[in-house]
Copies of this chain bind each other. A is one copy, B any other.
Amino acid sequence: MRDVTSSRTPTRNRGSRRAEILDAAATLFAARGFHGVSIEDIGGAVGVSGPALYRHFSGKDALLAEMLLNVSQRLRASAAEVVTGAGSAEQMLDTLIAGQIAFALSEPALITVHDRELGNVPEPERRAIRRLQRLYAEEWVTVLAELYPRCPAADLRAAAHAVFGLLNSTPHSAGDLPRETMAPLLHRMARAALSAIVGERGVGERGDTERGVGERGR
């Protein structure tokens, strides 16, 4: 359904405009949020003005939907490939981590939009995206379950999401470190965080039940 690059590609410069628009829109959405960006803004960012977008997308919603669908498909496919392939669970986990880092570092805007704007995707494709996201997370859980068989799946899921948060934080603290330093640092941190899933007593076990920070405004 919904033919991408309808039937034959438009003679000369194939879907380049389409990709250009998606790219510019991702950057803008990441910076100002879906509703903070106008069709005019997106058009302007690629050198055309306003309603030219409707030659490529059926609307702003559809643009966002395609963008997120694309991202979640890429992530999911790459994770599935890793987990289906050969190697120990340890190796798989390292490859999953490396893949997520590479993605977060090379496409920070997409990562940002991907976990912020799902709520603005219209319903048919919203479900599809959510499903792909869930499948992606489950690939991680599968590998983690092999490494920590005693651990409840819910804990593994929560831990996986926490690591996503860790790895996807790069867009926010961007630019401070060169990629060659940042990537191994994140990898080590993610690896260590996951090693801590199992509940050894005595690390920092106290204090988590304390009240909220600075209970003033109540």
Q: Looking at the complex, which of A6-14, A39-47, A142-150, A151-159 is the stretch in contact with chain B?
A: A151-159
A27 at the interface (CB under 8 A from B): no
The answer to whether B162 touches A173 (Cβ under 8 A) is: yes
Minimal beta-carbon separation of A77 from chain B (angstroms): 5
Tell me the A76-134 residues at the B interface (CB within 8 Å): 77-78, 93-95, 97-103, 106-107, 115-117, 119-120
Chain A contact residue count (CB 8 A cutoff): 85
Cα separation A155 to B178 with both chains bound (whole Å): 10
B residues in contact with A93, CB < 8 Å: 204
Instruction: Determine if B173 and A185 form an interchain contact, defined as CB atoms under 8 angstroms apart.
Output: no
Residues of B within 8 A of A17 (CB): none
Q: Does A1 contact B (CB under 8 A)?
A: no
Q: A125 vs B193: C-alpha distance in the bound complex, in angstroms? A: 36
A56 within 8 A of B: no
A19: Cβ under 8 A from any B Cβ: yes
Interface code A9-34, partner B: CB below 8 Å = 1, 0 otherwise?
00000000001001000000001111
- Give Cα A22–Cα B170 distance, bound, in whole angstroms: 29
CA distance A87 to B109 in the complex (A): 41
Chain B residue at smallest Cβ distance from A198:
B188
**Other-chain contact of A187, B95, B167, B205 (Cβ < 8 Å):** B205
A193, B189: Cβ atoms closer than 8 Å: yes
26 residue pairs A–B, Cβ–Cβ below 8 Å = A32-B119, A35-B35, A70-B217, A74-B213, A100-B213, A102-B211, A103-B212, A154-B177, A155-B185, A158-B177, A158-B182, A158-B185, A162-B166, A162-B185, A163-B189, A165-B165, A165-B166, A165-B169, A185-B199, A187-B204, A187-B207, A188-B199, A188-B203, A189-B196, A192-B193, A193-B196
Apart from A32-B120, A75-B213, A154-B177: 20 A-B pairs, beta carbons within 8 A: A33-B34, A33-B117, A34-B35, A34-B36, A93-B204, A94-B207, A98-B208, A98-B210, A102-B210, A115-B172, A116-B116, A155-B177, A155-B185, A157-B173, A158-B185, A162-B169, A165-B167, A184-B208, A189-B193, A191-B203
